């Protein structure tokens, strides 16, 4: 397999499925099976999931809510999603641990780097909730930070499009997708891969990012096997 330890970044919006809000159980089941297929190959998997299907701090702030309060509400939303994903993974027969940057011991472990790494070494899926634990930082930044801390080989950003394009493929049918692109070219072309803080942290730590369509069955496993799926951003 191409990678030994991965950090999978999932958006909260992806959990909506066909719904207008909340969590679609069918999407959870699908994600659990996709992740299980990778775990069965001996790959260590950590996950960061967003909370946009429940609450987004930035949109809350735009509606008059205090930005810091809104971001904390968003962090709690990621924990709700983490609990739902944890349940689905365990129903699929996997061992999991949910760790949060904000202490809430009744439902999750506090984030401790050494403990997280040990869980991964034992074959457990580790879900990181509540972002970085600080307002003004996105779950993209949390994903890169955790990936660097646990020494992941790659960040896999699961999206609903096939990769990184020169323009928005959902708005322009002539959009061209990149198979491979450098960090510098992403910046020069002004392409949207992750928010600037997350992207810079990944670049500084020479941590490659693969942006791919998580909604196509088998894509995750194909990436692990070394197939060209999505867009790889690297030095």
pLDDT in tens, 129-142: 999 999 999 999 99
The 10s digit of each residue's pLDDT in 55-69 is 865 665 566 788 899
Looking at the chain, the whole-number percentage of residues with pLDDT higher than 70 is: 97
- How many whole angstroms separate alpha carbon 225 and alpha carbon 153? 14
Give the residue-averaged pLDDT of 83-98: 98
Contact 35, 28 (CB under 8 A): no
- Which pairing describes strands 231-234 and 209-213: parallel, antiparallel, or unpaired? antiparallel
Q: Give 182-209 pLDDT, tens digit per residue.
A: 999 999 998 988 999 999 999 999 999 9
The CA radius of gyration of the chain, in Å to the nearest whole number, is 17
Q: In CATH, what number does 5-234 get?
A: 3.40.1160.10
Percent share of the chain, pLDDT over 90:
80
pLDDT at 61: 56
pLDDT band at 21 (very low <50, low <70, confident <90, very high): confident
Distances (CA, A) of 8 to 58, 63, 101, 152: 23, 31, 17, 10
Q: What predicted TM-score, i.e. pTM, was given to this entire model?
A: 0.94
Write down the domain spans for the chain.
5-234
User: Distances in Å between the alpha carbon of 91 and those of 4, 35, 84, 88?
Assistant: 24, 12, 11, 5
């Amino acid at each position: 397999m191409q990678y030994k330890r991965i950090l999978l970044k999932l958006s909260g919006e992806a959990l909506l499925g066909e719904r207008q809000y909340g969590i679609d159980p069918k999407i959870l089941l699908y994600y659990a099976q996709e992740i299980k297929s990778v775990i069965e190959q001996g790959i260590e998997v950590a996950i960061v999931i967003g909370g946009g299907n429940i609450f987004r701090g930035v949109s809350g702030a735009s509606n008059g809510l205090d930005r810091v309060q809104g971001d904390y509400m968003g962090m709690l939303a990621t924990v709700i999603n983490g609990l739902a994903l944890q349940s689905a993974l365990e129903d699929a027969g996997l061992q999991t641990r949910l760790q949060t940057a904000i202490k809430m011991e009744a439902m999750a472990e506090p984030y401790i780097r050494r403990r997280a790494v040990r869980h991964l070494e034992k074959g457990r899926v580790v879900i990181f909730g509540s972002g970085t634990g600080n307002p003004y930082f996105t779950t993209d930044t949390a994903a890169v930070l955790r990936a660097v801390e646990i020494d992941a080989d790659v960040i896999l950003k699961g999206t609903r499009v096939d990769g990184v394009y020169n323009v928005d493929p959902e708005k322009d049918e002539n959009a061209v997708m990149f198979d491979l692109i450098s960090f510098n070219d992403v910046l020069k072309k002004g392409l949207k891969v992750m928010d600037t803080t997350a992207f810079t942290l990944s670049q500084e730590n020479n941590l490659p990012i693969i942006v791919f369509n998580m909604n196509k069955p088998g894509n995750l496993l194909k990436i692990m096997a070394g197939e060209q799926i999505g867009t790889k951003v690297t030095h």
